[in-house]
Amino acid sequence: MPERVLVALGGNALVKTGQRGTLDEQAATVQSALAGVAELIRRGHRVVLTHGNGPQVGQILLRAEAARGQAYDLPLDVCVAQSQGETGYMIQQCLQNVLRQGGIGDPPVATVVTRTLVDPEDPRMSHPTKPVGPFYSKEQAERWRATGWRIAEDAHRGYRRLVPSPLPIGIVETPVVRRLVEAGVIVIAAGGGGIPVRRARDGTLAGVEAVVDKDLASSRLAVELGMNTVLDLTAVEQVKLNFGQPDERNLDKLTVEEAKRYLAEGHFAPGSMGPKIEAAIWFLERGGRGVIITSPENALAAFDGRAGTRLHPVLSAQPRS
């Protein structure tokens, strides 16, 4: 039976490790990553795509800093909006090319500039933890700190700006995306977690200097759209226990309760697999049937149960032999 599938393209589906991240490199990487997605569409599944934007926003901030004093400053919400346009254009063009080359036809694909509602009273707003933008020397960092920015050392590579990462409490454009999906459009939405906005007492919206976690925003959108499955394409084929240790092992299947336990035991790092597991739990506890985590090249095999890790409310965890 055809399903409604939200495909979350992680950073590895846009820029591979070791690449400079040029537009040509990104286009080639995206086109390769979409092969499995195209097959899902050929089978009749209704697909919505989301994507990360870390490298793209970093480049936008670099350009803005180089042009400081010659062009207007770019607040972070506007940077996210720009990255949605740039990356959405690349994904929709590559996807249409893959579909046409695969003899699947020319179904409509559209990118929706998407806003994500956040709570200005969210405690995370007063505790910035998300590094964004370029690396600074210690002297540069001190100058930026004097302007009110929160600055911290990042993995001994230099200093970076820290911004809040509040929880998504709603996707503003969900009704628009739903109409498009029902009309047969393949939609790209909530890029980079969505443009963070807050609602004032009079109902008006305003941008927020923050970054919303893309996995949590993807799960929020999936719930609001009533999607059956989230296919999370990332840098690894499977979720692992004891990652990087001699007793490391892969997981084929994982229940919500097991995922919660392993998360509490520290198996999933906060900056990498942790948010994906948290987002998967959130989705499954609100009616989702399954979450599949795997690499782009294994997307189709994982969807068919031959690769990746499937999180489900009732299945049990088993190590892959």
What superfamily in CATH does domain 1-5+14-25+45-114+170-227 come from? Acetylglutamate kinase-like (3.40.1160.10)
Tokens found for residue 288:
């989702």
Q: Which residues are catalytic?
A: 11-12, 130, 214, 276
Burial 49-78 (b: 16+ CB within 10 A, else e): bbbbbbbbbbbbbeebeeeeeeeeebebbe
Tokens found for residue 32:
């390769």
Q: What are phi and psi of 191, to 5 degrees?
A: -60, 135
For the segment 116-159, what is each residue's pLDDT rounded down to a tens digit? 999 999 999 999 988 888 889 999 999 989 988 999 988 778 99
For the segment 212-224, what is each residue's pLDDT rounded down to a tens digit? 999 999 999 999 9
Domain ranges of the chain: 1-5+14-25+45-114+170-227, 234-321
pTM: 0.92
29 pLDDT exceeds 70? yes
For the segment 56-91, what is each residue's pLDDT rounded down to a tens digit? 898 999 899 889 899 999 999 999 999 999 999 999
Cβ neighbours of residue 72 under 8 Å, at least 6 residues apart? none
**Contact call for residues 232 and 226 (beta carbons, < 8 A):** no
